[in-house]
């Protein structure tokens, strides 16, 4: 059997008992290491599992999945995913490949940023479409996510912004020359995400959001060092959220009074936040 096991968000102890028991029964254990990351290293996982953990980078998962699935019709294999097993479409593709080979698949779920974002006080059923933001380059500044924010905003819904992670990436020159030299890991901060958001709004000028739009910056959700900050995009642009991973929420204008009260507890400038609430929001 192929087990696809969610690890949760913070450290080795976030795994469920069901997930840990499944790992104990597996002969090979892979850790997907490019869509997200835990806040602890591989050695901490191996100590708890009492198993060797094989790091599965993007290349392995997307191009060498046969290696992961090898003999999985005869032995148990675990594929570990930070968050929930189906937080990334890549993992659905792995399930389809396993099905084609007649390999039984069992998913063991866990918390992910998609539900843990409720720690902000925002109600999950008031969220619209989630977007992903990638690092801009000098020649590539994609903004396909803008329309989704605009649609969410038009009906007062919140937008969760997932921020880019660059792990084991090659420069264009090294890629062109076939050199297996990788760039240092990079993790997008909320500051960088806000700068990119404001740049695109300035160029498009369709007012899907403005520098005064209320947002929630979050970092290391689920960890003891979790941090949440609420303010306008302009205010949050200068707030240091610390170590990765970061996410950002654009707050919709149809806000429940309970959501507003909890957001106030995380305000970087409460009087200013109250002014924006009074001016721009329709409280349910």
| Residue 89 in this model has a pLDDT that exceeds 80 | no
How does the average pLDDT of the chain come out, rounded? Answer: 92
Other beta carbons within 10 Å of 178: 7
- The Cα–Cα gap between 7 and 17 comes to 11
Residue ranges at the known binding site: 9, 84, 87, 112-113, 163, 246
Q: Is residue 280 over pLDDT 70?
A: yes
Question: How does pLDDT run across 218-228, given as a tens digit for each residue?
Answer: 999 999 999 99
Mean pLDDT across the stretch 242-269? 95
Reply yes or no on whether the pLDDT at 90 is more than 90: no
| Order of strands, sheet of 214-219, starting from the edge strand that comes earlier in the sequence | 131-133, 159-163, 246-250, 214-219, 227-232
50 vs 23, 42, 102, 109, 170, CA distance in Å? 9, 12, 29, 21, 33
Q: What is the Cα 89 distance to its own chain's centre?
A: 13
**CATH 3.30.950.10 in the chain, residue ranges:** 114-281
Angular region, 144: left φ>0, alpha ψ -120 to 50, beta rest: alpha
User: Residue 177: what pLDDT?
Assistant: 67
φ, ψ at 125 (rounded to 5°): -80, 0
- Cβ neighbours of residue 169 under 8 Å, at least 6 residues apart? 182, 183, 186
- For the segment 150-197, what is each residue's pLDDT rounded down to a tens digit? 999 999 999 999 999 987 665 666 666 666 666 678 999 999 999 999
pLDDT at position 135 over 70:
yes
Question: What is the third-level CATH fold of 114-281?
Answer: 3.30.950
The SS3 of residue 240 is coil
Output the pTM of the full model: 0.92
Tens of pLDDT, residues 76-86: 999 999 999 98
The hierarchical CATH code for the domain 2-111 is 3.40.1010.10
Within the chain, all domains assigned CATH 3.40.1010.10 are found at 2-111
Non-local (6+) Cβ contacts of 8 within 8 A are: 14, 15, 16, 82, 83, 110, 111, 222
Instruction: Name the pLDDT band for 61 (thresholds 50, 70, 90).
Output: confident
What percentage of the chain reaches a pLDDT higher than 90? 77
Structure tokens at 48: 């708890």
Segment 247-255 mean pLDDT = 95
| pLDDT of 208 over the 80 cut | yes
The confidence score (pLDDT) of residue 282 equals: 75
Structure-token pair, residue 9: 């968000």
Tokens 């050695």 found at: 43
Q: Which residues are annotated as a binding site for S-adenosyl-L-methionine?
A: 9, 84, 87, 112-113, 163, 246
Mean pLDDT of 195-205: 97
Reported as a single tens digit per residue, the pLDDT across 10-34 is 999 999 999 999 999 999 999 998 7
Across 125-137, average pLDDT: 95
């Amino acid at each position: 059997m192929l087990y696809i096991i969610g690890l949760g968000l913070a450290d080795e102890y976030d795994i469920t008992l069901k997930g840990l028991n499944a790992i104990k029964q597996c002969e090979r254990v892979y850790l997907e290491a490019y869509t997200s990351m835990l806040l602890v290293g591989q050695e901490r996982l191996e100590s708890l599992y009492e198993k060797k953990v094989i790091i599965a980078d993007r290349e392995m998962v997307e191009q060498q999945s046969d290696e992961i699935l090898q003999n999985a019709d005869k032995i148990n294999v675990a594929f570990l995913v930070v968050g929930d097993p189906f937080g990334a479409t890549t993992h659905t593709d792995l399930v389809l490949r396993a099905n084609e080979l007649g390999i039984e698949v069992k998913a063991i779920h866990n918390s992910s940023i998609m539900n843990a974002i409720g720690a902000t006080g925002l109600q999950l059923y008031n969220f619209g479409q989630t977007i992903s933001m990638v690092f801009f380059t000098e020649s590539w500044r994609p903004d396909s996510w803008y329309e989704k924010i605009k649609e969410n905003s038009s009906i007062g819904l919140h937008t969760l912004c997932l921020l880019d992670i660059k792990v084991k990436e090659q420069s264009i020159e090294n890629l062109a020359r076939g050199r297996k030299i990788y760039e240092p890991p990079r993790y997008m901060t909320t500051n960088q995400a806000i700068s990119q958001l404001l740049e695109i709004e300035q160029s498009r000028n369709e007012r899907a959001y403005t520098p005064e739009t209320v947002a929630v910056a979050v970092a290391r959700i689920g960890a003891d060092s979790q941090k949440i900050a609420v303010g306008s995009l302009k205010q949050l642009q200068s707030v240091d959220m610390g170590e990765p991973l970061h996410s950002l929420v654009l707050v919709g204008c149809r806000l429940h009074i309970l959501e507003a009260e909890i957001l106030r507890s995380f305000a970087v400038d409460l009087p200013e936040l109250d002014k924006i609430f009074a001016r721009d929001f329709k409280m349910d």
